[in-house]
Structure 1
């Protein structure tokens, strides 16, 4: 039974899913323009050639994208005249329209919303189950539940990511896609659908564990500091931004490895390339250090922090607000007959 102080007491699982889905949608809408601008700035300094893979992220999930046309699609246009982030925003809006800042949003939402809803809902229920087992140790329960929930969601989404990459490379009917998957499984076994799973786990599971552990601590500290009996939207926002930034900083080396592995795997999948490349996480790290030095493991730290901090803040504050809203709604419904 859920206690009085339980964050999920008084709400149903469908309501939790609705709250987390709303958070995922809002986060994607706000953060996607930042990534579109980042990709365009990258493309202008080093243009994407046809068939080249790159990583697209909305702050919640990473997606591997294939450049199918270097000249016409808004994602890949790079006239070489952006002087910075603000200038890129202004020129994209002026020359291509406001909607260009949300290029690629629909396919991202197809995976991000259900995966995020699954992750947050599973996390809440597993944490609630662990707290009495751990004799009320909420922080430890959050750490274990966060790691486990991310492990499950990454494992479920990983095969879909490879399938999506194949479909982006060239138009495939469902029959052709099924045949493509069957061929891959027959050749390399079912585990071939989880290529790239290792680096994703190495980054996402520690990130999730640290995020939820520090979020709980930060939320409690802010509530005590401002004498708030319950976390407000602002408290959730600040705690989410701080905990997300810390987790992003600690796990950035694994993010760099994951990005390189994702791109390599995508190109191998797209072109049916049989070349063998370094697959072990530590081998990839050694390659990066030998090529760029130790600082190479922290490449892209600032853009990652700029994206992750607001994404975590918006997602968790929207989710907490949604749960509070449904909790009050359900309480009013129960009191209405009385």
Structure 2
């Protein structure tokens, strides 16, 4: 007859085996794999293209100069480097990392779940559009407080010593509304961008011969498809990005989406809605293209493709 100590060891062994099985199941979950792959791709692209995001925000903050001319992208870069040194171009990196890394991971895992449950096979153009919109809406609503902090960090209008200080300051002075200001234009900007991007990206890939989608040619092909998709999606959604920036920087001045739209149009005309288009197009296009390229390669190494 086995002793009580032996039985206890057996029970411990069984419990450890069951726990390891549960951990393996979690680790091997496609949703977790999608989140990890997306987070990694988001890290790479965020660090590399943060200066473009900062320049875009500064352009949208300072629309004109006293002489009546317009402020150019290179003038903004020169001013930042002179006043804040080279690393000033990476101002706002911390909130960008906090927003983009889990945000991109959440986007890709949401997209994977939606495709698995609501779309059989390869999504068509409309399916891809809706998948991108819904996945980005989930991410946008979840990450809006970090988006507000990120925009204010990059603008140069506010001076926060840390993420915690920014969060507490906004909540103390503006309440919950301050941490969610600009949510509507954010969704109107990001959700259509993601939907259009995914639609253009999947349709462009379908037109590439299959032999180019395998082996060493796959990464550059994915990147090229991503660039083309990003250019088209950025141009369509740019006006909403301008309105979003205004609302998040000056919440007391613009209490509604329509107020911000009316102000931009009256003061700067239709061209005001496209300020910052070049750096945003470069940043969003290259960032999305890199994120999808890295994501495609990582998911392939995970055996998900």
Q: TM-score, normalized by length of structure 1? A: 0.64
- The match for 2:246 is 260
Equivalent in the alignment of 2:16: none
- CA 1:180/1:154 → structure 2, altered by over 3 Å: closer, same or farther? closer
- Which residue of 2 is the match for residue 222 of structure 1? 208
Asked whether the equivalents of residues 23 and 316 of structure 1 are also in contact (C-alpha less than 8 Å), the reply is yes
1:285-336 per-residue CA deviation (whole Å, 9 max, x = no partner) reads 23222222222222222222222221111111011111112218xx9xxxxx
Q: Secondary structure of 2:255's partner?
A: coil
1:291 to 230, 250, 267: 267
Shift of 1:92: 4.5
Unaligned runs of 5+ in 1: 1-9, 48-81, 269-276, 332-338
1:183-194 aligned within 5 A: 193-194=179-180
* 1:78-98 deviations in Å (ceiling 9; x for gaps): xxxx99479849x959x956x
- The whole-number CA distance in structure 2 between the counterparts of 1:199 and 1:288 is 14
1:288-327 mapped onto 2 (5 Å cutoff): 288-327=264-303
CA gap 1:160/1:302 in 2 versus in 1, 3 angstroms: closer
SS in 2 for 1:215: helix
User: Which range is displaced more, 233-242 or 11-20?
Assistant: 11-20
Provide the secondary structure at the position in 2 that maps to 1:327: coil
The answer for the alignment partner of 2:22 in structure 1 is none
Indicate whether 1:12 and 2:30 are aligned. yes
**Alpha-carbon distance in 1 for matches of 2:52, 2:169:** 37
| Number of corresponding residues | 266
Match of 1:203 among 169, 172, 189: 189
Q: CA RMSD in A?
A: 4.1
Mean Cα displacement is larger for which, 100-109 or 37-46? 37-46
- Residue 32 (structure 1) aligned with residue 50 (structure 2): yes
Report how far residue 195 of structure 1 moved: 2.5
Uncovered stretches (5+) of structure 2, i.e. residues with no partner? 1-27, 66-71
Cα distance in 1 for partners of 2:200, 2:111 equals: 15
Partners of 2:165 and 2:76 lie apart in 1 by: 45
User: How big is the shift at 1:159?
Assistant: 3.2
- Cα offset for 1:214? 0.9
Q: Does 1:139 align with 2:125?
A: yes
- Residue 126 of structure 1: CA displacement? 0.5
Contact 1:150 1:204 in 2 (8 A): yes
Q: Deviations over 1:89-144 (max 9, x none)?
A: 9x959x956x5553442332122211111111111220222213xx8643332211
Contact 2:110 2:135 in 1 (8 A): yes
Corresponding position of 2:112? 124
Query: What is the TM-score with the length of structure 2 in the denominator?
Result: 0.70
Measured in 1, the distance between the counterparts of 2:74 and 2:248 equals 27
The residue that corresponds to 2:103 in the other structure is: 115
Q: Select the structure of larger CA radius of gyration.
A: 2
Distance 1:261 1:40, change over 3 A: closer
- Conserved in 2, the CA contact under 8 Å of 1:23 and 1:315? yes
Alignment deviations for residues 10-35 of structure 1 (CA, whole Å, 9 cap, x no partner): 97332222211111111012112344
